[in-house]
Amino acid sequence: MASNPSSRRRRRVVEDESDPDSDGLGGVGESKRRRLEQQIDEAVLTADSPTSTRTKGVNGVKTHPDDEGFQPGAIRRVKVKNFVTYEMAEFFPGPNLNMVIGPNGTGKSSLVCAICLGLGFSPKHLGRAGNVKEFVKHGKASAIIEIELQRRPRDRDHHVIRVQIDRERNSLKWWLNGADTTHKTIQTLMRDLKIQVDNLCQFLPQDRVVEFASATPVDLLHETLRAAAPLEMLDWQSSLQALHKEHKEHLRGSENSAEQLKSLEERQADMQNDVDRLREQEEARQRVKDLGDARHVADYLEARSLYRDKRAEEKLAVKTLKKLENEAAPSLQAVNRKQEYHEQLSAAVHVRKEAIRRAEAAGDTLLTAIEEADEQVKATEARITTTRKGYDTKRQELGKIRSKIGALENQAKNKPPEFSPQEHNTQIREKEHSLREIETDFRQLDAKIRDIKDQASQLHPEEMARRRQRVGMATGKQRQV
């Protein structure tokens, strides 16, 4: 640092020569330290303005009467007491101070530490001790740092910051311009004066040179803007960084999308043949499905036509059945009356002799034939409209049967005559003859019944089942009676 020798300020140093720890940073003897201090007087901490005139300032310290060359916040004076290796020292740097140089062991780092702590910043920015009590000179209870800063145009006096380090409590006590204050107030003043000890572009301790050298250009630009540019430029830089990062992300995303698109296009080209085959298979499956659906439609139409035909036949059969039931109702009533008479006759014959019981058996057989004949009559009546001749024949046969039944009724009503073996044998022969005639009639009726059954089997099965059920119910009721 070049300076006018006539304007060079001297520092006042009073150190404890008997203190064995006074050379803790340099490790040299007292004689060597004195020589180095003389060299520092000539090479370090220069000032441009004359120093012949000094006046008393805040707290009785000397201040410069003029502000020529000093920027607001510039260090005008540094005073330490019992700080690291210094027992008492006071420095008066010039307005162009930007570097502290000197041989090893001359207290350069101690001065830098005093500036950092005296301006209210943490010792972590020094890259050294973490506790402030370690900056107190060995054997001393406390240390004092006093720094005078150039005033701003609106300020009346220069800013004098004083801090006391208590070893025992490991604490700091602050004064500003002779009055007690807080650490927060000192930090606010540093921000107003734009003093940034935490910025390596503005304050670079020796132990953090490597860190500064390894900083990236972006970080250096950011710290430089913090130190010299308006605050809005930091916002602009942050916005530019965010936009640049977003641009890189979009660019990276675009490249990834292009690569992915190219890969997908290649895969699409490779899979096109497979897609064509799958499409043909799908079309073939669809044709098979359509043909199957068409077959189902044809089956449905055929089944619907058959259903309609069967439905018409069913309606016709039901209509015919109702008509036959209405026509056969008198015959059923007659059968019921015959059943009642048969039961009465059976009760009377039961108490008679063996011949009467045989007649009863013949009557039972005849009754069975009558029931079957009645069924034949009901079936025959169903075809009266088309087979009138058959109906007349069946009616004649029914008349014969009724005549025989009337004869039997007359015989049952007549009081049995006195028993005569000869007459009884004659009656037996007559009954046997009548029985043979009935059996002959029964065989004829049985043949006719089979014919009618064959004709009835051509009718709807459900209608035949209902007819059989009604006939069975009617027969059951007759038997119960």
CATH code, domain carrying 157: 3.40.50.300
Interatomic CA distance for residues 377 and 324, integer angstroms = 10
Question: Does 181 reside within a domain?
Answer: yes
Average pLDDT, the chain: 72
Interatomic CA distance for residues 143 and 163, integer angstroms = 8
Interatomic CA distance for residues 445 and 249, integer angstroms = 108
Q: What is the pLDDT of residues 109-133, one digit of tens each?
A: 888 888 888 888 888 777 665 788 8
Interatomic CA distance for residues 75 and 331, integer angstroms = 144
Per-residue pLDDT at 214:
75
Per-residue pLDDT at 376:
73
Per-residue pLDDT at 476:
53
Per-residue pLDDT at 78:
93
pLDDT category at 204 given cuts 50, 70, 90 is low
Q: How many CB atoms lie within 10 A of CB 80?
A: 29
Selected residue with higher pLDDT from 262 and 355? 262
Question: Does 149 reside within a domain?
Answer: yes
E strands within 226-364?
Answer: none
Q: Are 187 and 176 in contact (CB under 8 A)?
A: no
Interatomic CA distance for residues 118 and 80, integer angstroms = 9
Rg, the chain, Cα only: 70
Domain that holds residue 108: 74-197
296 backbone dihedrals φ, ψ, rounded to 5°: -65, -35
Nearest to 367 by CA among 401, 392, 407: 401
Q: Are 91 and 33 in contact (CB under 8 A)?
A: no
Q: Which of 216-220, 244-248, 259-263, 423-427 is predicted most confidently?
A: 259-263
Average pLDDT over residues 53-79: 62
pLDDT above 70 (res 253): yes
Question: Does 275 reside within a domain?
Answer: no
Question: Considering all CA atoms of the chain, what is the largest pairwise distance in Å, rounded to the nearest integer?
Answer: 194
Average pLDDT over residues 463-477: 56
Among 401-405, 443-447, 457-461, name the one with the lowest average pLDDT.
457-461
Per-residue pLDDT at 56:
39
Helix (H, G, I), strand (E, B) or coil at 90: strand
Q: What is the pLDDT of residues 274-320, one digit of tens each?
A: 888 888 899 999 988 888 888 888 888 888 899 999 999 998 998 88
pLDDT category at 23 given cuts 50, 70, 90 is very low
Question: Does 173 reside within a domain?
Answer: yes
Average pLDDT over residues 249-261: 88
Nearest to 369 by CA among 344, 335, 392, 396: 335
149 backbone dihedrals φ, ψ, rounded to 5°: -115, 145
Per-residue pLDDT at 80:
94
pLDDT category at 57 given cuts 50, 70, 90 is very low
Per-residue pLDDT at 190:
85
Interatomic CA distance for residues 188 and 186, integer angstroms = 5
Selected residue with higher pLDDT from 56 and 359? 359
Helix (H, G, I), strand (E, B) or coil at 102: coil
> Considering the chain, what percentage of its residues have pLDDT values greater than 90?
8
Q: What is the pLDDT of residues 156-189, one digit of tens each?
A: 889 999 999 998 888 899 999 989 999 899 888 8
Per-residue pLDDT at 92:
92
Nearest to 178 by CA among 75, 334, 61, 321: 61
Contacts by 169-175 with C-beta closer than 8 Å and gap 24+? 170/131, 170/132, 170/133, 171/132, 172/117, 172/132, 174/120, 175/59
Q: Is 187 exposed, middle or buried (0-12, 13-18, 19+ CB in 10 A)?
A: middle
Q: Are 389 and 403 in contact (CB under 8 A)?
A: no
Identity of the residue numbered 441: D
Among 287-291, 319-323, 416-420, name the one with the lowest average pLDDT.
416-420
Sign of the Cα torsion 63, 65, 71, 72 reads: positive
Helix (H, G, I), strand (E, B) or coil at 69: coil
Dig out the tokens for 394 from the structure.
């069946």
Interatomic CA distance for residues 376 and 383, integer angstroms = 11
Q: At how many degrees (to 10) do helices 217-228 and 231-350 cross?
A: 120
Q: What is the pLDDT of residues 344-397, one digit of tens each?
A: 777 766 767 676 667 667 767 777 777 777 777 676 666 656 655 665 666 677
What is each CA distance from 446 to 121, 364, 370, 451, 476, in whole angstroms? 134, 17, 11, 9, 21
Per-residue pLDDT at 82:
92
Question: Does 177 reside within a domain?
Answer: yes
Average pLDDT over residues 440-449: 76
Interatomic CA distance for residues 348 and 338, integer angstroms = 15
Per-residue pLDDT at 127:
67
Selected residue with higher pLDDT from 158 and 22? 158
Question: Does 406 reside within a domain?
Answer: no
Interatomic CA distance for residues 18 and 31, integer angstroms = 12
Q: What is the pLDDT of residues 184-200, one digit of tens each?
A: 998 888 888 878 777 67
Provide the number of structural domains found in the chain.
Answer: 1
Question: Does 178 reside within a domain?
Answer: yes
Q: Are 37 and 106 in contact (CB under 8 A)?
A: yes
Dig out the tokens for 389 from the structure.
């001749």
Question: Does 176 reside within a domain?
Answer: yes
